[in-house]
Chain A
Amino acid sequence: MHLLKLDSVSRDFDVSRPWLNRVLEGEPQRILRAVDHVSFEVSKGETLALVGESGCGKSTVARLIAGLYTPSEGRIEFRGRRLQMIFQDPYASLNPRWRVSKIIAEPMMFLERGKPVGELLTQVGLSPDDAQRYPHEFSGGQRQRISIARALAGEPELLICDEPTSALDVSVQAQILNLMAELQERLGLTYLFISHNLAVVSLIADRVGVMYFGRIVELASTSDLFARPRHPYTRMLLDAVPDLEMSGKPRTPVAGEVPNPLAPPSGCSFHPRCPHANPRCQVEVPRFSDGVACHAVEEGRL
């Protein structure tokens, strides 16, 4: 039974110049499609990760689900009662003028009876005495623990985590990732985990969706995706992960960069960088079927 379902969700942003300029200079309206027909389901208790490079639309998906944006097209179905979000920057996401007790108690306004703040702090590895302190008295990792305690205060079924460890040092990141895994086990939480770091995703996710240019290009279980990546973009991303084992395996750095979203390439948006592109890829957008959106895979060329 799914807890969350996205059905062909798209989101457009109007990035036109001001009306007067458009009229005087005869410029057309400019629409940027940040999320393009994205569909997926998240079951209760699982972790789905969305990965991709900056500008691929993964954070927009998170914000659409949280209701911070409304979809331009498509449907989002949430079968739980509450969801909460954890943000990337623990320095910007906590009110500096509020004591920790007030920050954490805020989501409880919508509950009949909330948990004591001290208990929530203990749950994330802080001390109940920390409730009387202000955010600036904490390190980045401790602040992210406060963010998690705040999210848990609302007793959510779904936690949307938008790059929760990207701003942290590796040793602190390890503490937070371990904490998140432990909380999921204990409280039966469901995570939607947004990240650009494939190693982090391989550790924490049950399933992974790879996004490129507003679309999901591949969606598979974590073990399948890392053992047998199918889409050329997924292969490129995996290839680009620095090799800590120093096995000396040759890397094939793919040339080129993510294209300008205001002038999207025709056909498959990855075709200008794809080593397997053919004339069909230049004109026809690949359909997402059987976990991957790629003509080469569909035709058995790859």
Chain B
Amino acid sequence: MMLEVQGLTVQFPTRRGTLTAVDSINFSIAPGEVLGVVGESGAGKSITGMAVIGLLEPPGRIAAGEVRLEGSRIDNLPHEALRKIRGRKIGVIFQDPLTSLNPLYTIGQQLEETILTHLPLDKTQARERALSLLREVGIPAPEARYGAYPHHFSGGMRQRVVIALALAAEPRLLIADEPTTALDVSIQAQIIALLKRLAGERGAAVMLITHDMGVIAETAQRVAVMYAGRIVEIGPVRDVIHSPRHPYTVGLMGSIPKVGTREKRLLQIDGAMPRLNAIPAGCAFNPRCPRRFARCLVERPDLLSAGASRAACWLHASS
């Protein structure tokens, strides 16, 4: 396994008590695999990503659990050691390509700096590598664009530059947090195709965080569905989409409008995800769940095997 996360718990101490944003979650990603992490805002998916790469904003902290990259723990490393690994072995792509680039440096300078920091190359080699990266992510005429500033580029082109930056040091793990959300559909399709190709060719593990199930269906092999800080279902993409096992996933899939269906009403889950300071006892989904029974109100389910997937739901308890 390239990335292994075990019992990861993230807490935010506040004046009114400690909030648990991510509650003992487990997952792993193999080399060349794309794991989709899906959930609604506040489900904890971005915080999980940030915790894995050690970029949690204080006062947020990892309260328990382990993060292993290529078998060795990275969650307990000192700041400086982790920073080196982050550039060298982990690449990150954020949602907004404009804020991930420095507006005062040309894209060539930014790429060169990243390459020189992490790879043992001289300036000419770094430039060569930067140009080939730009070519690889589909920037036309990279020599001519090398001296351009981020504001000269459109949104889609900027996101390509960000991807080139993330790949600069041949990372083993790529964390992409809503990489296509700020882009138009036609550009989104191009970026998805690019991410997929790069993961396949380079054998990197990709954690793709998004709220868009369509993007996951196109890109990922496995998907983890998050709700109120926990993984409620995890399994092969095809199984989770076509035969969801957790009532929340069923509702989530039903509430996605699809092109070309005849129905005029969407399946809807009433209510909203609970706030972190008011997570109900038992299963966190129970107040909204159409299939809840007595056990759901008192006991919190762990991930139980359900078909090809695993779901945190008492409906799948074998007894």
Contact status A246-B241, CB under 8 Å: yes
Contact status A240-B252, CB under 8 Å: no
Instruction: Please give the distance in Å from B155's CB to the nearest CB on chain A.
Output: 8
CB under 8 Å from chain B, chain A span 229-270: 236-246, 251, 253-255, 257-258
Residues of B within 8 Å of A197, CB to CB, are: 257
- Does A109 belong to the interface (CB within 8 Å)? no
Contact status B211-A170, CB under 8 Å: yes
Contact status B265-A202, CB under 8 Å: no
- Does B272 belong to the interface (CB within 8 Å)? yes
Q: How many residues of B contact A (CB 8 A)?
A: 44
Of the candidates A140, A196, A203, the one whose C-beta lies within 8 Å of that of B184 is A196
Residues of B within 8 Å of A243, CB to CB, are: 214, 217-218
- Does B234 belong to the interface (CB within 8 Å)? no
- Does B29 belong to the interface (CB within 8 Å)? no
- The residue in chain A whose Cβ has the minimal distance to the Cβ of B215 is A242
Contact status B252-A178, CB under 8 Å: no
What mask results when residues 187 to 208 of chain A are scored 1 for a CB within 8 Å of chain B, else 0? 0000000001111101100000
- Does B79 belong to the interface (CB within 8 Å)? no
A139 to B271, CA, bound (A): 11
- The residue in chain A whose Cβ has the minimal distance to the Cβ of B267 is A174
**If A169-B40, A244-B213 touch, does A254 touch B186 (CB 8 Å cutoff)?**
yes
Contact status A141-B272, CB under 8 Å: yes
Residues of A within 8 Å of B40, CB to CB, are: 169-172
Contact status B217-A244, CB under 8 Å: yes
Residues of B within 8 Å of A140, CB to CB, are: 41
- Does A123 belong to the interface (CB within 8 Å)? no
**If A253-B186, A258-B184 touch, does A203 touch B257 (CB 8 Å cutoff)?**
yes
Instruction: Please give the distance in Å from B250's CB to the nearest CB on chain A.
Output: 11
- Does A181 belong to the interface (CB within 8 Å)? yes
Contact status B259-A171, CB under 8 Å: no
- Does A173 belong to the interface (CB within 8 Å)? yes
**If A53-B186, A172-B272 touch, does A242 touch B217 (CB 8 Å cutoff)?**
yes
Instruction: Please give the distance in Å from B179's CB to the nearest CB on chain A.
Output: 13
- Does A226 belong to the interface (CB within 8 Å)? yes
- Does A29 belong to the interface (CB within 8 Å)? no
- The residue in chain B whose Cβ has the minimal distance to the Cβ of A56 is B184
Contact residues of A: prevailing secondary structure = helix
Residues of A within 8 Å of B267, CB to CB, are: 174
Contact status B156-A257, CB under 8 Å: yes
Contact status A253-B190, CB under 8 Å: yes
- Does B73 belong to the interface (CB within 8 Å)? no
A225 to B187, CA, bound (A): 22
**If A200-B257, A251-B189, A257-B187 touch, does A170 touch B252 (CB 8 Å cutoff)?**
yes
Contact status A237-B186, CB under 8 Å: yes
Instruction: Please give the distance in Å from A190's CB to the nearest CB on chain B.
Output: 17
A25 to B213, CA, bound (A): 51
Residues of A within 8 Å of B270, CB to CB, are: 175
CB under 8 Å from chain B, chain A span 114-168: 139-142
- Does A54 belong to the interface (CB within 8 Å)? yes
Of the candidates A169, A242, A254, the one whose C-beta lies within 8 Å of that of B41 is A169
Instruction: Please give the distance in Å from B190's CB to the nearest CB on chain A.
Output: 5
Contact status A246-B272, CB under 8 Å: no
**If A174-B267, A181-B265, A257-B187 touch, does A241 touch B259 (CB 8 Å cutoff)?**
yes
Residues of A within 8 Å of B41, CB to CB, are: 140, 169
Instruction: Please give the distance in Å from B232's CB to the nearest CB on chain A.
Output: 13
A177 to B268, CA, bound (A): 10
Contact status B255-A236, CB under 8 Å: no
**If A171-B251, A246-B238, A253-B190 touch, does A177 touch B184 (CB 8 Å cutoff)?**
no
- Does B209 belong to the interface (CB within 8 Å)? no
Contact status B241-A171, CB under 8 Å: no
Residues of B within 8 Å of A196, CB to CB, are: 184-185
A226 to B257, CA, bound (A): 14
Contact status A202-B251, CB under 8 Å: no
Contact status A244-B241, CB under 8 Å: yes
- Does B8 belong to the interface (CB within 8 Å)? no
CB under 8 Å from chain B, chain A span 29-70: 53-54
- The residue in chain B whose Cβ has the minimal distance to the Cβ of A51 is B185
**If A53-B184, A54-B184, A141-B272 touch, does A226 touch B238 (CB 8 Å cutoff)?**
no
- Sample 15 A-B pairs with CB under 8 A, ordered by A number: A170-B213, A173-B257, A174-B254, A178-B266, A178-B268, A198-B259, A199-B257, A202-B259, A226-B259, A237-B185, A238-B259, A241-B259, A253-B186, A253-B190, A254-B186
Interface residue ranges, A against B (CB under 8 Å)? 53-54, 139-142, 169-175, 177-178, 181, 196-200, 202-203, 226-227, 236-246, 251, 253-255, 257-258
Supplied contacts A197-B257, A242-B214, A243-B218, 13 more A-B pairs, CB within 8 Å: A53-B184, A174-B256, A178-B266, A181-B264, A196-B185, A200-B257, A202-B259, A241-B185, A241-B259, A242-B215, A242-B217, A246-B241, A251-B189
Q: Enumerate the 7 nearest inter-chain pairs by beta-carbon distance, A residue then B residue, closest first.
A: A242-B214, A174-B255, A169-B40, A53-B184, A174-B266, A199-B257, A253-B189
